[in-house]
Amino acid sequence: MKSLLNSALGLALGVASATVAVADGHAKELTIAIVNNGHMINMQKVAEAYTEETGVKLNWVSLEEGVLREQVTSDTATGGGQYDIINIGMQEAPIWGAAGWIEPLNFGADYDVDDMLPAMRNGLSHDGTLYAAPFYGESSMVMYRKDLTDAAGVAIADNDSWDNVKAAAAAIHNPDAGVYGACLRGKPGWGDNMAFVTTVVNSFGGAWFDADFKPQLESDEWKAAINFYVDLLGDYGPPGSEGNSFNEILALYNEGKCGMWIDATIAASFLTQPGVAYAQSPNAGNPVGANWLWAWAMAVPAGSPNAAESQAFIEWATSKEYIKAVGNHPDFGWGKVPTGTRASTYAIPEFQAAAPFAAAEMAAIESAAPAATDIKPYVGVQFAAIPEFPEVGTAVAQEIAAALSGAKSVDEALAAAQEAANAIMSEAGYF
Amino acid sequence: MATITQSSKLGNVLWPALAWMVALIFFFPIFWLVFTSFKTDADAVKPEFLFSFTPTLENYANMTENYDYWRFAINSVITSSFATLFALAVGVPAAYAMAFDPSRHTKDILMWMLSTKMLPAAAVLYPMTFLTKNFLGIFDTHFLVILVLCLINLPIVIWMLFTYFKEIPKEIIEAGKMDGVSLWGEIKDILIPLAWGGIASTALLTFIFCWNEAYWTVRLTTVDAATLSKLIEGNRAPEGLFFGRLSAVSTAAVAPIIILGWFCQKQLVQGLTFGAVK
Amino acid sequence: MVDASRLDHRRAPKPVFVKLQHRKVTRAMSNRTLPRILQTPSVLLLLIWMLVPLSMTLYFSFIRYVLNSTIRPEWTTPSLSNWRGFGNYQYVLNAKDFWFAIQNSVFIVSSVLVLTVILGLGIAVLVNRSFPGRGIVRVLLISPFFVMPAVNAVLWINMILDPVLGLNGLAVSGINSIVEGLRDFPVLGGFFSMWPELEPISFRATQTSAYAVIMMVSWQWTPFAVLIFMTSLQSEDESQKEAATLDGASPWSQFINLTVPHLARPIAIVVMIQSIFHLSLYAEIEIVSRGNGNKNLPYLIGEFTSNNIGAASATGIFAVILANIIAIFLLRMVGKSLMD
């Protein structure tokens, strides 16, 4: 028995050590954690050229967003060293930079860091130091079916008022024909429904926290904004909106079931339904604006043994050359280049021809204002760049989804959200 | 049995019809998954029912080209097989002792073992990550995945084997002892042949549980030891609508185990008695 | 045979214990020591597996420990100087959804148990008779059991239960158009025109998401129940049944009086194994609605793990306590019969 056990154990150890040996065999090997979005999938293919050129082997670990955050956070926080390059968002980059979890990025002159859109660069920096390089960036805007609005005799202007948007949604809403007036995010998650909901709240003049980081979820602005959101989506949205986020709505839109969709600008490059028109997000005149700002960026965890190679790869993957490489790639082309990062991209004629949404996207990104203001005393548009935000955002997101489902009234949901947010913030030591 | 069948002519038609209907309903989601895997991502979200699309193999090509399906699949095979083997290697002697030489504490030990299986993985996730990464340095190795899969299934293995072994008449084992057969001989020549059905179905069930385990295998691996459940996690994207691809990956991940299950169905049915046959 | 005296001092048991055993058991000494040696590896492995991570969880649950904090950076390293006593427990007990999560954990597990046992019994009886194609029917029936949880959840919530793009929406609009068509009939039309237009149910809403989880988990585990029940039905005493038939007992009374008692033990097995697995459901909860309306304890722990390890650990300890309460309860109820 014992010998059997021993040999079995030996075999397993052998398997384990064999893989270690293989890993040691290649000196230059980078492990990159990514979310499985379209642009990152394409990168895996485009980067084959990089491997050929430099000899650096790339291991891609693609993960679902939530699992990615969980893994990358615990790995980086404890210095686990599993990844050489990590995909993080604009919410994490400045906080992790401040905590010393990720390396500051220094690129050569060819990289032309000044070409990077200022909103992106600021959002991914802490104290003026860039900690993560944007792979693709996005803001939010209105995408709508011009054929339907024309037929109904309504129009949606740039930075229109919410009341006009609602009236337009009502005019094109025709559930018998399978067309719903407005498709908006409802799936709970700080990066899902709360991304959109926060922009609505911002445009109503509300904010997550006051200057002392006390949650403001029961303020009049929040109440007005959430009531508006629940009414709009309840009256003119598709059934099951509380389960919809980007993917689900994209499917609905491409099936011709949405008259209007307010979401990430990146969506525009996936739309197949003809007759689409774009407008800047509705705004009620608040200086914070109603556009969000997000980037999927790449960063190097502190203490990575391959920091130099990792920086070199990031420099390549976020460069002007990379964008050209995608544009000229036989499998992809100019319609599929990662956008929202560099001003120079928008000046490329081939890109302008392939991307009718380019101007609207650029305008949306440029008008997004992540900086702290009197109304919103924290960095970030649709989030707050503090470590506790994901927890607060998740708790509030579920309450908003409950209000949208009709399980709670808006007031009840906001009261519960406020209580939860208060508990989390006071637990974290803010007050 | 025969009398019941003769007693109602109507039952002769209705009974099989009902059985077939239930079976088809239960199988339908799997059929739908396989079916969707032959659609493009754009077609996959269309609610139209049947054949209004052109079937494509592009999802499967993409899966093997871009996602290295075989690496994940081989890891799944390695980790599930070794974990099953280990669990049996540790479990058979323990169950043997519990079944043939029970003490007053045997039942308590068994119950305690089963209760460890109820511990929520999420409760110890962070310590486990911390421990395996920062202290033991075995994070993302086959060894770790095998060990964890083995440990989480060990209680069920021991319990199942215990119930089988108990059905074997003690006298046979005693007779072996009288003849001076060694312990190893006793297990190898008497116990294993007698309880073969039970051991085989325990192994099968453990293998299935290992293959489908998706909490630890996703969270304790990065690249080297990543299994198919991690491949599936990686194909769910926040900003990308890939139902066609996801269906293909899912089909390819569950197909081996379903086919194994089909082939071993008889074995599984005969073996899953938990010692209930008296 | 292994030399008992040599083994004895290696793992010397408590003397009192040996004496007691000695008096009771007439067998040779080796029979008491050998079994223990054979059991040692598994007991030891499980003990380490249980104790090491769990004691770390216990430690974290008594200190302030967060992954990242800009205002209290000292909390980001686990250290005794951040000792907090029962503070994390107090926080967790008052946290949103804590009691809801416990309730839901129990609700989901018990609903799945009831559904799978009833469906499993019915289907097992159904396929226990021989009919054309029984082999294929059985193969089709057990297949869901082999599907990975994440695949199961994605498949059900997106492709089947989605109210617009899934088969759910398709079926409801199909029924609506049939009803619409029937309204034109001369006599029946009056009846059907009273029918309201059906709205597809959303299974990601707060009110329904727990049912979506119950549905998909039951779909996956009913085949397991069928497998176990099928095995057991095959061992049923046919002569008893035939005698009952001759006595004029109806098939139903045969089922209740003969089959169900025979199935008591397999039912216990199904209940036992399933509760073990379903107490830690995670992927299904996440994929259906991210804990909106269907949150269980493991999912709540997952939410805390995003930053507050102290609170996550305290919740983990509560989850362990809940699991043990259920384990004791279950083992009392069904365990005893399984051991005999």
Q: Which chain A residues contact residue B239 at CB under 8 A?
A: 35, 37-38, 246-247, 264, 266
pLDDT level of residue A326 (50, 70, 90 thresholds): very high
* B13 in reach of chain C (CB within 8 A): no
User: Nearest CB to B218: which of A67, A75, A83?
Assistant: A67
- Distance CA(A96)–CA(A301), nearest Å, equals 9
Q: What is the CATH number of the domain that holds A57?
A: 3.40.190.10
Alpha helix ranges (H) inside A78-117: 92-99
* B236 in reach of chain A (CB within 8 A): yes
* A239 in reach of chain C (CB within 8 A): yes
Q: Tokens standing for A139?
A: 């803001």
- Distance CA(A378)–CA(C209), nearest Å, equals 34
- Mean pLDDT value across chain B: 84
| pLDDT (0 to 100) of residue A249 | 92
* Nearest alpha-carbon partner for B98 in B86, B83, B109, B87: B109
* A187 in reach of chain C (CB within 8 A): yes
- How far is the first Cα of chain B from the last one, in angstroms, to the nearest whole number? 21
Does residue A362 lie within any of the structural domains?
Answer: no
Provide the 3-class DSSP secondary structure of residue A351. Answer: helix
pLDDT, tens only, C83-114: 999 999 999 999 989 999 999 999 999 999 99
Q: Going by CATH, does the domain composed of C95-161+203-339 fall within 3.40.1260.10?
A: no
User: Nearest CB to B238: which of A4, A246, A272?
Assistant: A246
Count how many residues are written for chain C: 340
Considering only residues 259 to 278 of chain C, which have any Cβ-Cβ distance to chain B shorter than 8 Å?
Answer: 265-266, 269, 272-273, 275-276
**Closest CA of chain B from A107, distance in Å:** 28
- Distance CA(A148)–CA(A155), nearest Å, equals 10
Contact A246 B86 (CB under 8 A): no
Of the residues A322, A354, A386, the one at which a domain ends = A354
Strand partners, A144: A260, A277
| pLDDT (0 to 100) of residue A27 | 57
* Chains in touch with A (≥3 Cβ pairs < 8 A): B, C
Q: Percent helix, strand, coil in chain C (nearest 5)?
A: 75, 0, 25
Domain of residue A112, residue span: 13-137+294-354
Contact B26 C309 (CB under 8 A): no
* B32 in reach of chain C (CB within 8 A): yes
Contact C43 B96 (CB under 8 A): no
**Closest CA of chain C from A242, distance in Å:** 6
pLDDT higher than 80, residue B88 = yes
Torsion of CA C147, C149, C154, C157, to 10 degrees: 100
DSSP per-residue codes, B40-92: -HHHHT----SS-S----HHHHHHHHHS-HHHHHHHHHHHHHHHHHHHHHHHH
Does residue A5 lie within any of the structural domains?
Answer: no
Considering only residues 176 to 195 of chain B, which have any Cβ-Cβ distance to chain C shorter than 8 Å?
Answer: 177, 180, 182-183
pLDDT higher than 80, residue B14 = yes
Considering only residues 196 to 215 of chain B, which have any Cβ-Cβ distance to chain C shorter than 8 Å?
Answer: 208, 211-212, 214-215
pLDDT higher than 70, residue A186 = yes
What whole-number percentage of chain A has pLDDT above 70?
93
| pLDDT (0 to 100) of residue B126 | 85
Examine the domain organization and report whether A82 and A17 are in the same domain.
yes
Nearest CA in chain B to C238: B1
Examine the domain organization and report whether A86 and A144 are in the same domain.
no
| pLDDT (0 to 100) of residue C198 | 80
Provide the 3-class DSSP secondary structure of residue B24. Answer: helix
Alpha helix ranges (H) inside C183-256: 188-192, 209-234, 238-246, 251-254
Examine the domain organization and report whether A129 and A27 are in the same domain.
yes
**Closest CA of chain C from B120, distance in Å:** 5
Q: Is the dihedral of CA C333, C336, C338, C340 positive or negative?
A: negative
* ipTM for the assembly: 0.88
Say which residues have a Cβ less than 8 Å from residue A178's Cβ, sequence separation at least 6: A256, A257
Is A87 within 8 Å of A300 (Cβ atoms)?
no
- Distance CA(C321)–CA(C109), nearest Å, equals 16
Which candidate in B118, B161, B268 is best for mutational testing of the C interface (most C CBs within 10 A)? B118
* Chains in touch with B (≥3 Cβ pairs < 8 A): A, C
User: Nearest CB to B89: which of A5, A74, A191?
Assistant: A5
Examine the domain organization and report whether A102 and A193 are in the same domain.
no
User: Nearest CB to B146: which of A12, A31, A71?
Assistant: A12
| pLDDT (0 to 100) of residue A274 | 82
* Nearest alpha-carbon partner for C180 in B254, C271, C188: C188
User: Nearest CB to C309: which of B45, B126, B273?
Assistant: B126
Alpha carbon distances (Å) from C84 to A321, B229, C94, C258: 53, 38, 16, 59
Which candidate in A48, A247, A248 is best for mutational testing of the B interface (most B CBs within 10 A)? A247
Domains by residue range for chain B, with CATH: 2-58 (no CATH), 69-271 (1.10.3720.10)
- Distance CA(A87)–CA(B240), nearest Å, equals 16
**Closest CA of chain C from B84, distance in Å:** 14
Strand partners, A258: A180
Contact B236 A64 (CB under 8 A): yes
Strand partners, A278: A143
* C39 in reach of chain A (CB within 8 A): no
User: Nearest CB to B237: which of A5, A36, A44?
Assistant: A36
| pLDDT (0 to 100) of residue A418 | 97
Examine the domain organization and report whether A164 and A229 are in the same domain.
yes
Contact C205 A242 (CB under 8 A): yes
Nearest CA in chain C to B167: C340
Examine the domain organization and report whether A198 and A61 are in the same domain.
no
* C157 in reach of chain A (CB within 8 A): yes
Alpha carbon distances (Å) from A42 to A323, B145, B176: 11, 30, 66
Examine the domain organization and report whether A312 and A233 are in the same domain.
no
pLDDT, tens only, C229-240: 888 887 776 777
**Closest CA of chain C from B68, distance in Å:** 19
Contact B239 A246 (CB under 8 A): yes
| pLDDT (0 to 100) of residue A329 | 92
- Distance CA(A100)–CA(A21), nearest Å, equals 31
**Closest CA of chain A from B276, distance in Å:** 29
Contact C291 A96 (CB under 8 A): no
Chains A, B: CB pairs < 8 Å: 126
Examine the domain organization and report whether A112 and A158 are in the same domain.
no
Q: Which residue has the tokens 């700080």?
A: A190
Rounded to 10°, the helix B196-212/B142-166 angle is 150
Every domain of chain C and the residues it spans: 1-48, 95-161+203-339
- Distance CA(A259)–CA(A253), nearest Å, equals 8
What whole-number percentage of chain C has pLDDT above 90?
39
* B183 in reach of chain A (CB within 8 A): yes
Strand partners, B201: none
pLDDT higher than 80, residue A167 = yes
Chains A, C: CB pairs < 8 Å: 138
* C302 in reach of chain B (CB within 8 A): yes
Examine the domain organization and report whether A67 and A112 are in the same domain.
yes
Does residue A1 lie within any of the structural domains?
Answer: no
Q: Which chain A residues contact residue C205 at CB under 8 A?
A: 240, 242-243, 405-407
Q: Which chain A residues contact residue B142 at CB under 8 A?
A: 12, 15-16, 19
Does residue A389 lie within any of the structural domains?
Answer: yes
| pLDDT (0 to 100) of residue C107 | 95
Q: Which residue has the tokens 């003849």?
A: B179
Nearest CA in chain C to A245: C289
Looking at per-residue pLDDT, the higher value among B50 and A141 belongs to A141
* B10 in reach of chain C (CB within 8 A): no
Pairing label, strands A260-264, A276-280:
unpaired
Considering only residues 218 to 277 of chain C, which have any Cβ-Cβ distance to chain A shorter than 8 Å?
Answer: none
Does residue A112 lie within any of the structural domains?
Answer: yes
* C118 in reach of chain B (CB within 8 A): no
User: Nearest CB to C200: which of A239, A248, A407?
Assistant: A239
pLDDT higher than 90, residue B191 = no
- Distance CA(B161)–CA(B96), nearest Å, equals 8
Q: Which amino acid is at B16?
A: P
Q: Which residues of chain C have pLDDT under 50?
A: 1-29
* C316 in reach of chain A (CB within 8 A): no
Examine the domain organization and report whether A199 and A265 are in the same domain.
yes
Q: Which residue has the tokens 């899969």?
A: B149
Chains B, C: CB pairs < 8 Å: 290
Number of domains in chain A: 2
Provide the 3-class DSSP secondary structure of residue A173. Answer: coil
Nearest CA in chain C to B277: C235
Nearest CA in chain C to B8: C251
Strand partners, B276: none
Provide the 3-class DSSP secondary structure of residue C303. Answer: helix
Nearest CA in chain C to B161: C339
